[in-house]
Structure 1
Amino acid sequence: MGPFDWLPHAPLEPLHLGWLAAAGVEVAVLRLDRIDPLISGNKWFKLTEHLAQGRAAGATGIISLGGAHSNHLHALAAAGKRFDFPTVGLLRGHPQDTPTVLDLQAFGMQLHWLGYGGYRARHAPDFWQPWRERYPQLRPVPEGGGGLAGARGCMTLVQQARAQLSGLGWDDYHGWWLAAGTGTTLAGLVLAEAGAHRVYGALAVPQDHGVAQQVGALVQTGFELLDASRGGFAKVDPRLLDFIQATEAASGLPLEPLYTGKALLALQTEVEARRFARGTRLIFVHTGGLQGRRGFSLGFGGSNGTESALKP
């Protein structure tokens, strides 16, 4: 099961927007959305350690969880298709043919729908036992590719960004800003930074979803979480949509409304409130997820980045 020698490159690009210029704050975007047409965003990095540990334990594939628009399951299924290992998805709710689900099926992922109560039981101590018995050859991976293995897989992002600073004319930076769903990528950045730079997580889910506890189980200091959920996960409002469309028109940076759009809007709020001094330099992580835009009737134009066929 692999491969383990594929380490995609995420370009670091300057972001030019009026509200940043007015505040004297510089932002560069680590474009994880550009690493691959289908295995996109932070999901591959979170999977790498799980794949390595699975291979070491003799597993031949992966079984994991997600919803009907899951970026994690989409990247996992695409990786399984491209690199020829079996994948199984345990899905929240009842069968539905979303664009994501249709892709999962096309990529060869075996799907099981758990309902809503069954999915809520995913944190129970005995949740995985029947699935281990049914699929003994597969490695169970937490929702979103989380846990310490997922965080360790994201540590390489710090090295990738630092290697490109000179191309921006930067000799250093002051912190990171990114959306937080499970907090796994954030924890990986904190581990890699080892206190050198602060990591700010814009919560895509309400604070009662336990992200702070999940992150705190992996790292204790060096980060800050801010509520950017705008009332709940997948809650979309006109202010957010207007911001996304205006940002895309002004900068060409593609966003989606669940993670990157909310995270960048939260950054604008903090910048305009003078949270950051003039001269501050931040790295914004574009965590991908553009395929999930297809599940919303938002009137977005342009490509969602998933048209290319899978190729070895």
Structure 2
Amino acid sequence: MQPVHLGWLERAGVELALLRLDQVDALICGNKWFKLAPYLKQAADLGLDGVMSLGGAHSNHLHALAAAGARFGFRTVGLLRGEEQDNPTIADLRQLGMQLHWLGYGGYRRRHEPDFWMPWRERYPGLLPVGEGGGGLPGARGCAPLVAQVREQLAGIGWGDYQQLWVACGTGTTLAGLVLGESGAHPLVGALAVPPGHGVEEQLPALLAQAGVEACGYRLIDASRGGFARIDPTLARFILDSEAECGVPLEPLYTGKLLLALHDEVAAGRVARGSRIVAVHTGGLQGRRAMQERLLALAAQRE
């Protein structure tokens, strides 16, 4: 846990601490390890050889999975969105030993269909299929202990309690885990990295229902800036200025958008003076490598 000091927070009388999951591990970092661990145990318990999963060309999830496979000695297969390309993430996946298959865009859109995994199970009978981003109830349960980590570290930063817990949402799995961990003790805010209407609103209640928990205690806000992976000059400038002021590295798809959404909530007066907020830094910094030049160019438009 790291207190973060930014001028706009201090002027509003709001305190913020980040749970720095980006510092968990150099390669298996962020919330990805917490979502993956239950699936890796499941594969081991079933006597399987490894795991196959889905993601985009900059996927933090596939990157963490490939790194875990290389470190712990199990096979990994990645099914990727779009056409074959090269970037720093793809180079890492190959170097880490992940076998890659490019599905195109139409093929990737089929991932939610009931028979999607059938040919891949036949091709790789020794691998456990895991949904995009490590989504699903096992992944959510893997994230539930993060709440205990927050509470255990409060005294270390001089806090007795907090008023809200924030996290960015891609599939909603991490937020579902935090709902399980909080058990109604604190309000949760999910900052949507994908625009509303792309499934998170339905997936969250479904995940919680599987866990036997009522879908309550959280609210969702649109932090997507109009689309997943969409970066505009305002976001780019905000990220670079925030990094310069507080020293915490950010990425533009999740934590950067979360902090800008929090800024906008504070500016609109929807966060009470005196509030203490914990936000989860979900990692993803490896994916920023291919975006740095674009980020700088966009930020320059705001100067």
The alignment's TM-score, normalised by the length of structure 2, stands at 0.94
In 1: Cα distance, 2:16 partner to 2:292 partner: 30
- Structure 2 residue 183 is matched with structure 1 residue 194: yes
Gaps of 5+ in 2: 209-214, 297-303
In structure 2, give the amino acid aligned to 1:21. Answer: E
Contact 2:236 2:295 (8 Å CA) reproduced: no
In structure 1, give the amino acid aligned to 2:171. Answer: T
In 1: Cα distance, 2:106 partner to 2:233 partner: 31
* Structural RMSD (CA): 1.1
Q: In the alignment, which of 63, 67, 90 is matched to residue 101 of structure 1?
A: 90
Deviation, structure 1 residue 168: 1.2
Contact 1:13 1:29 (8 Å CA) reproduced: yes
Residue 121 of structure 1: aligned partner: 110
Q: In the alignment, which of 52, 56, 59 is matched to residue 48 of structure 2?
A: 59
Q: In the alignment, which of 222, 245, 260 is matched to residue 240 of structure 2?
A: 245
In structure 2, give the amino acid aligned to 1:246. Answer: D
Q: In the alignment, which of 10, 18, 28 is matched to residue 21 of structure 1?
A: 10
In structure 1, give the amino acid aligned to 2:117. Answer: W
In 2: Cα distance, 1:85 partner to 1:258 partner: 29
Gaps of 5+ in 1: 1-11, 302-312
Residue 110 of structure 1: aligned partner: 99
- Structure 2 residue 251 is matched with structure 1 residue 262: no
Question: What do residues 139-183 of structure 1 show as CA deviations (whole Å, max 9, x unaligned)?
Answer: 000000000000000011111111110011111111211111111
Matches within 5 A, 1:207-222: 207-219=196-208, 220-222=215-217
Residue 290 of structure 1: aligned partner: 285
- The DSSP-based 3-state class of the residue aligned with 1:218 is helix
Paired positions, count: 290
Contact 1:241 1:298 (8 Å CA) reproduced: no
Percent identical residues: 66
Matches within 5 A, 1:75-94: 75-94=64-83
Q: In the alignment, which of 135, 141, 144 is matched to residue 124 of structure 2?
A: 135
Q: In the alignment, which of 269, 276, 279 is matched to residue 274 of structure 2?
A: 279
In 2: Cα distance, 1:175 partner to 1:150 partner: 22
In 1: Cα distance, 2:70 partner to 2:90 partner: 15
- Structure 2 residue 239 is matched with structure 1 residue 227: no
In structure 2, give the amino acid aligned to 1:232. Answer: G
In 2: Cα distance, 1:117 partner to 1:125 partner: 16
Residue 4 of structure 1: aligned partner: none
In 1: Cα distance, 2:161 partner to 2:113 partner: 44
In structure 2, give the amino acid aligned to 1:245. Answer: L
- The DSSP-based 3-state class of the residue aligned with 1:163 is helix
Moved over 4 A (4+): none
Deviation, structure 1 residue 300: 6.5
The alignment's TM-score, normalised by the length of structure 1, stands at 0.91
Residue 304 of structure 1: aligned partner: none
In 1: Cα distance, 2:119 partner to 2:273 partner: 55
Q: Structure 1 or 2: larger helix share?
A: 2
